[in-house]
Amino acid sequence: MFQVLLFLLIGVIIGILTGLIPGFHPNLIATLAVSYAFFSPINSSVLLVSAAVTNTFVNFIPAVYLGAPSASTALSVLPGHKLLLEGRGREAIRLTVVGGLVSVFLATALFPFLYFGLETAYGTLESYIPFLLIAVIIYMVWKDRRLDSVVFFFLSGILGYVVLEHNFVGTMHDLFPLLAGLFGVPMLIHSYRKDPEIPMEDRSIEHISRREIVREGSLGSLAGIMVGLLPGIGSAQATYLVREATSEDSERGFMLAIGGVNTSNILVSIFAVYMIGRGRSGVAVSIQNLMQDITFNEVVVLVLTGLISAGLAAAAAIHLAKHSLRLFRKLDYRKLCLAVIVFIFSVSFVLTGFKGMAVAAVASFIGLSCLLSGSRRSYLMGSILFPIILFFL
């Protein structure tokens, strides 16, 4: 038991570090754990689960404060940044934390139902994935009635198809320059042009109603369950669906919902490994490789690890958000925006080389054009959705 707790705490520390560094994902740690299995399978698995769960709480800090997204936080950049410039940056992080905690407990509570209906639901829903995504896109276009939105969807979709399906970049980090260019860099350029100041934080953080928590937290949890079970549905696609299910004008509701997508995904994907023998996340696949035949008792240990890690990660995220904001307020925000742009392109180069930088540049042009046109940036998720739809069709 002592060893399990020790590896849980080590995983929390790793999750905090990977969450604060853009482009550094727990999947990299998972790959290393499988390649160099120095510890027992259960200890290594506990470390991976705690690191992954902690990362899902902390990685919203660079997304909100710096505009440096991952696949799971890309769409949170704009509403989170808007709250930041209204003096509500800590509130944005707090909302994602609450959403993450709600999703953990909801996903865990649903395990008995998944136990009896998982195999049937998995086989039935798999064939409907592309039609679900197409229906959502048609609904958005019909609702907006904007031709330029369709153009941006297909421009980002073609770019995503070239990058992901044709292995243009040729590394495991190809999503970073793509999503950072589409969502992060345009927002930073826009902020640089407007020269905003990060206002004094409003200490009277708005109350989060029980209705908000239940409704939006449930949406995030259900989206995470979709990711954990269905092939072709990743964090980015689930985020897209959550964005359409919440009010477009409700930054609070969206941040609550999106906070829970990845957290519940990790727990459900572990359960899926036990039930149907298929891992739907990098961490789950690594656990499957480490433990081979996972038992029910081991699933219980890993789920409890996730619950404990979520509590520790929530406290860490709120604490780090508070101190990060103090640091950023002391800096010239225009210089900070410029520095983060340089940092994003530098990380793209380190992770993906010149091809990755080229992808980031093209994606930035598309993303900035979308931002300046006033079109909804949700359409830029075509970079992920378009290749998935083509793959299934």
Which of 229-233's residues contact partners 24+ apart within 8 Å by CB, and which partners?
Answer: 229/118, 229/121, 229/122, 229/125, 229/268, 229/269, 229/272, 229/280, 230/122, 230/125, 230/126, 230/129, 230/280, 231/126, 231/129, 231/280, 232/129, 232/130, 232/388, 232/391, 232/392, 233/129
pLDDT digits (tens, 9 = 90+) for 29-58: 555 554 445 677 788 888 888 988 998 898
CB count in 10 Å sphere of residue 326? 9
Question: In this predicted structure, what is the pLDDT of residue 4?
Answer: 83
78 φ/ψ angles, rounded to the nearest 5 degrees:
-70, -55
CB count in 10 Å sphere of residue 174? 21
Which of 328-331's residues contact partners 24+ apart within 8 Å by CB, and which partners?
Answer: 328/65, 328/198, 329/198, 329/200
Tokens 């958005």: give the residue. Answer: 140
CB distance 221 to 183 below 8 Å: no
Question: In this predicted structure, what is the pLDDT of residue 251?
Answer: 72
The lowest-confidence range among 4-13, 146-155, 167-176, 361-370 is 167-176
Residue 344: exposed, middle, or buried by beta-carbon count in 10 A (0-12, 13-18, 19+)? buried
Greater confidence (300 vs 168) lies with 300
Greater confidence (245 vs 254) lies with 254
Give the contacts of 67 (CB within 8 A, at least 6 positions apart): 77, 81, 183, 184, 185, 187, 188, 191, 337, 340
Greater confidence (173 vs 275) lies with 275
pLDDT digits (tens, 9 = 90+) for 338-358: 887 888 888 788 878 888 888
Looking at every residue in the chain, the average pLDDT score rounds to 76
Cα–Cα distance, 132 to 136 (Å, whole number): 6
Question: In this predicted structure, what is the pLDDT of residue 201?
Answer: 61
Domain boundaries, the chain: 2-392
Tokens 């297909």: give the residue. Answer: 154
Question: In this predicted structure, what is the pLDDT of residue 314?
Answer: 93
Q: Using alpha carbons, select from 112, 16, 3 the residue that is nearest to residue 55.
A: 16
| 178 has a pLDDT exceeding 70 | yes
The lowest-confidence range among 34-38, 251-255, 270-274, 304-308 is 34-38
Query: 311 falls in which pLDDT band (50, 70, 90)?
Result: very high
pLDDT digits (tens, 9 = 90+) for 199-231: 666 555 566 777 777 777 777 777 777 776 665
Give the ranges where the chain is alpha helix by DSSP (H): 2-20, 26-35, 41-58, 60-65, 77-85, 89-109, 111-126, 129-144, 147-160, 175-179, 185-194, 210-229, 235-245, 251-258, 261-276, 282-291, 296-329, 333-373, 382-392
Question: In this predicted structure, what is the pLDDT of residue 96?
Answer: 86
pLDDT digits (tens, 9 = 90+) for 84-134: 777 777 888 888 898 889 888 888 888 777 776 666 666 666 677 778 778
Question: In this predicted structure, what is the pLDDT of residue 315?
Answer: 93
Question: In this predicted structure, what is the pLDDT of residue 35?
Answer: 47
| 331 has a pLDDT exceeding 80 | no
| 365 has a pLDDT exceeding 90 | yes
Greater confidence (73 vs 81) lies with 81
Cα–Cα distance, 267 to 5 (Å, whole number): 18
Cα–Cα distance, 77 to 282 (Å, whole number): 24
Cα–Cα distance, 368 to 361 (Å, whole number): 11
